[in-house]
Amino acid sequence: MFKKAAVLVVSCGALLVGCGPDPQAENEEIISNLLEAGFPADDILVADDAVYVGRDAHVTLEASREMLQVPLESEEQYRTTNLVGSSVTRICVNSTATFDSYPMLSQGLDLAIANYNERGLRITFARGPATGCTANITAQTTSGTGGSAGFPSGGLPYGIINIGTGLNDYSADVNEHVITHELGHAVGFRHSDYYNRSISCGAGGDEGDAGVGAIHIPGTPTTAVVGGSVMNSCFRSTETGEWTSSDNTALDALYGGTVPSCSSYNFMSYRGQNGTQIRCSCPAVSGGVVWGTDLYTDDSNACAAAVHAGAIPATGGTVVVVIQPGQSSYTGTTRNGITTLSYGAWGGSFSFQLPPAQSCSSYNFTSYRGQNGTQIRCGCPAVSGGVLWGTDLYTDDSDACAAGVHAGVIPATGGTVVVTIQPGQSSYTGTTRNGITTLSYGAWGGSFSLGR
């Protein structure tokens, strides 16, 4: 996907003579197949000896041939005819060392993977290196502030997503959006505004309105709006990175799977099977009896515990429960609107695989005044400084990430913190710790403390 007003540079190089297939001949067949499949000629581009449609979706020879193997479908087009086969259940996304060196790209990849895994689909994603992979995608860098991928072929997702290093200057949410978009292409989604790219890009025409290379997904809108889908052609600097309702409908239609309810499991029966992972679903959560924090007694209400842990929102979702050994004690806390209880020794526990934490900078902690004891898990990038007041207890308008370093909860390279809302204080004392200097202040209406 290329940012609005970005220019796709088409480069040409000399063809090398060898015993392999002729790239020019392959490209000519791909272009012929795309034209037959209904893609307009002015939306087909050749860049660096590769053929693209929609400016960011690479089409291989095999994928172009598969587009001609099914009957003509509706003119409303959103997905390709090429989808990931049923034998693919776990897609591992392996990022290159160069990719990992860009912190916003790396964080965006984690968030994008969490986007897919939170939907309870028949396919899940994991960041490599990982085991149990039935397909692999390489996440690598390219120049600019956009990205590109390709369509599935042979029942496998496209094997590469290219993400522009210029995106490192954008927020984690924008990176999440772009990477989610490119992974969407890799599993078969076309642009939701395919018929008029100017909706999201401000300029551009129709990517193709009469071929089998894209098919309308039932239940989704047949018209696009700005911000209406992660799969819009171009992105804005204000993107949240999250799915829209129509995106969710499309995902469920193509890759939805039946996930057992968490209430159908007796987690106590898994004692001794430490590390075992159980994927299950939760409806909207309004409460439930839970003991512990992060590690919960194995007779706790799993869905309420999942909300408390930050694994899902109160509206519900799919979680991965991890069986853990019993503990000598459990501490109750309040997080995310759920209050858990303390308890003594118990024979078994569970925890959750957690999605990447939302950025601490996205929270306005002053809005939590009066909710003392509420805990918010959030993430921090590398910290070089920040304005903050207090020591151990900080004013609630302080920089939470700088406070996390000052408190010794995270290193200056960043990490995840748990912010606990605290009452206001009559005074705050400034100190210097861990390379961070805080300021003193008088009375203030709200505070927070930091923990892991």
73-83 pLDDT, tens digit per residue, is 332 224 555 78
Based on the fold, state whether residues 73 and 137 are members of the same structural domain.
Answer: yes
Cβ proximity of 421 and 396 under 8 Å: yes
Based on the fold, state whether residues 348 and 380 are members of the same structural domain.
Answer: no
Residues 6 or more apart whose CB falls under 8 angstroms from that of 294 comprise 309, 351
pLDDT of 344: 97
Residue 207 banded pLDDT, cuts 50, 70, 90: very low
Residues spanned by the domain of 390: 360-451
Based on the fold, state whether residues 414 and 432 are members of the same structural domain.
Answer: yes
Helix (H, G, I), strand (E, B) or coil at 327: strand
Residues 6 or more apart whose CB falls under 8 angstroms from that of 20 comprise none
Give one DSSP letter per residue of 24-35, joined into a string: HHHHHHHHHHHH
Strands 160-164 and 135-142: parallel
Residue 211 banded pLDDT, cuts 50, 70, 90: very low
Based on the fold, state whether residues 306 and 426 are members of the same structural domain.
Answer: no
Average pLDDT in the chain: 82
pLDDT digits (tens, 9 = 90+) for 366-391: 999 998 988 888 889 898 889 999 99
Q: Can you tell me the distance from the alpha carbon of 140 to that of 97, in angstroms, rounded to the nearest whole number? A: 9
The structural domain count of the chain equals 3
Element (H, E) at 391: strand 390-391
Based on the fold, state whether residues 38 and 73 are members of the same structural domain.
Answer: yes
pLDDT digits (tens, 9 = 90+) for 392-436: 999 999 999 999 999 999 999 988 898 999 999 999 999 999 999
Based on the fold, state whether residues 124 and 206 are members of the same structural domain.
Answer: yes
Based on the fold, state whether residues 344 and 390 are members of the same structural domain.
Answer: no
In terms of C-beta density within 10 A (0-12 exposed, 13-18 middle, 19 or more buried), how is residue 246 classed? buried
Tokens coding 423? 């009452």
Q: Can you tell me the distance from the alpha carbon of 53 to that of 40, in angstroms, rounded to the nearest whole number? A: 9
Flag whether pLDDT at 212 surpasses 50: no
pTM for this one? 0.49
Based on the fold, state whether residues 247 and 339 are members of the same structural domain.
Answer: no
